[in-house]
A and B are shown apart, each in its own frame.
Chain A
Amino acid sequence: MDLHLKQISHAYDDVNVLENIDFHIERGQIVCLIGPSGCGKSTLLRFIGGLEQPTSGAVMQIGSPPTDSLNPLTYIFQDFALLPWRSVRGNISLVLEDHGIKGAAAKAIIDDVLLRTKLQDFGDALPKQLSGGMKQRVAIARALAVKPACLLMDEPLSALDSQTRELLMDDLIDLWVKERYTACYVTHNLNEAVRLGHKVVVMSRRPGKIREIVSIDIPLEERQKNPAKLQEYQEYLWNLMRDEARAADQELNNA
């Protein structure tokens, strides 16, 4: 299943937030969305998963999702969004219960995703006992449990400290190398974008438009060995964004 964001524009009251956004998310690819703060990239991600509706345009599914996918468009949130009153296993079983998956079938899925996210020893812990990085791992495990066709990640590493971020970044890359998942990844961190993105969509400040779509054609698994090349990409992206970011920073909030 591919996704096509078809000429999406959006306005809150009279303020144009997004203008004419049009790009594809192809199967097995990670598309990174970057842009200065307030450019509407998180709003755009909410459109993709159907949590909000754009004023005009639409997000099209091309082809149908795999039949075993319980929730084709699945989010991973910046603030983890775990239920504090449920254990790690309970949080994952939450998203299975509504599909009628209980008992042994649920246990098999939960064991599998906990293993894939290296959480097998933490199944019975409550979220309050876990560090930020572990909480985000639980959220990733929960997302994997519903076999998504496309992961929608809203700055998943932004609430973590930089060491944890580094570790989780490696995990996301490893997971992609193993499973070739499809994802749309919103971030304001250019380094994350060049390390994880096959395609980087650079947006301008409000009203958000596509400034440029940069394809990075180094295979994900080889990027660590090519720091100079990545640095080049990162600088290129920064040059695209610098003036916009400065202007966005100095903008007064007339809301």
Chain B
Amino acid sequence: MPDNNSKKTESIVPYRGGGFAPRPQRIVAPVLFIALIAFWETGSRMGWISPIVLPAPSEAFNAFKELFVSGQLGLHLSASLQRLVIGWVCGTILGLAFGFAAGLFTMARGGIVPFVAAIFPIPKIALLPLFIIWFGIGEESKIATILFGTFFPTVIAVYGGVDNVDRCLIRMGQSFNLSWWSIVRKIILPGALPAILSGFRISVSIAIILLVAAEMIGAEYGIGAYVLLAGNLMAMDQLVAGVAMLSCLGLSLSWVIGRAEKYFLNWRL
């Protein structure tokens, strides 16, 4: 390019890169959380927020303390956790079995995939009355709801994960004469693990949602029953305490899965 300007100007080339790479920040979330609670508390104390609409966090905390002191907390929590654990574990085991079958065998895939596509979108809450007729009003119908809710997303995550295992690694295994079982155990299972663990994140959240829904029908104890009762009595402080417990439950389970990911997937970049 001809430069007619006899006097040459100098300028720094502007920087255009950067951005598009959010990093995890430990400090942001707690600060934001505390600020929000503090704002809510002052709002309630100053009378901007009516206690009928939303109780102050301190009131909700008092309700929680009452629950703890009366000894009811343990009953509610153990009832809920028991349902959650049994339902989720059984649903996950079945989901893993069917997911691997769909990922490994042509015939199984032909049967399982359309079946899952047909049933997965049905809200399991809509099936709850059916489960009550089948399994009675007791624990079984509640566990069945959680089991079904966990089963389908697990199947989808597992067979998707198996499909995404690097074919080159499987071919390598075959070229070294590894047995079918060795290839499944040492190549396909670890290769599908990232997808399976992220499937667990989703299935745990679904399990908590369904737990509360199931406990709202004919349960004596359980966080869902506690929340429902609080709603019927218009005891907003208890309701907020119950909802906060659910949120904490979700957070701690997500933390556990996060630890599991760190432990099992430390080989990833």
Chain A interface residues toward B at CB < 8 A: 49, 51, 70-71, 73-75, 77, 79, 81, 83-86, 94-95, 97-98, 126-128, 146
Contact = CB atoms under 8 A, between A and B. Distances in A.
Nearest to A139: B172
Contacts, number: 47
Contacts of B269: 128
Contacts of A127: 267
Interface in B175-205: 175-179, 182, 186-187, 190
A77 B168 contact: yes
B268 interface: yes
B173 to A, nearest CB: 8
Interface residues of B, number: 17
Main DSSP-derived SS at the B contact region: helix
B174 A74 contact: no
Contacts of A84: 267-268
Contact of B175 (A70, A75, A85): A75
Contact of A79 (B168, B175, B176): B168
Contacts of A128: 267-269
Contacts of A98: 176-179, 182
Contact of B169 (A73, A74, A83, A95): A83
B171 interface: yes
A85 B172 contact: no
Nearest to A78: B168
Nearest to B175: A75
Nearest to B190: A85
Interface in B215-269: 267-269
A94 B186 contact: yes
A85 B268 CA distance: 8
B168 A81 contact: yes
B175 A51 contact: yes
Contacts of B172: 75, 77, 81
Of listed B169, B174, B176, B268, residue having the most chain A CB within 10 A: B176
A71 B176 contact: yes
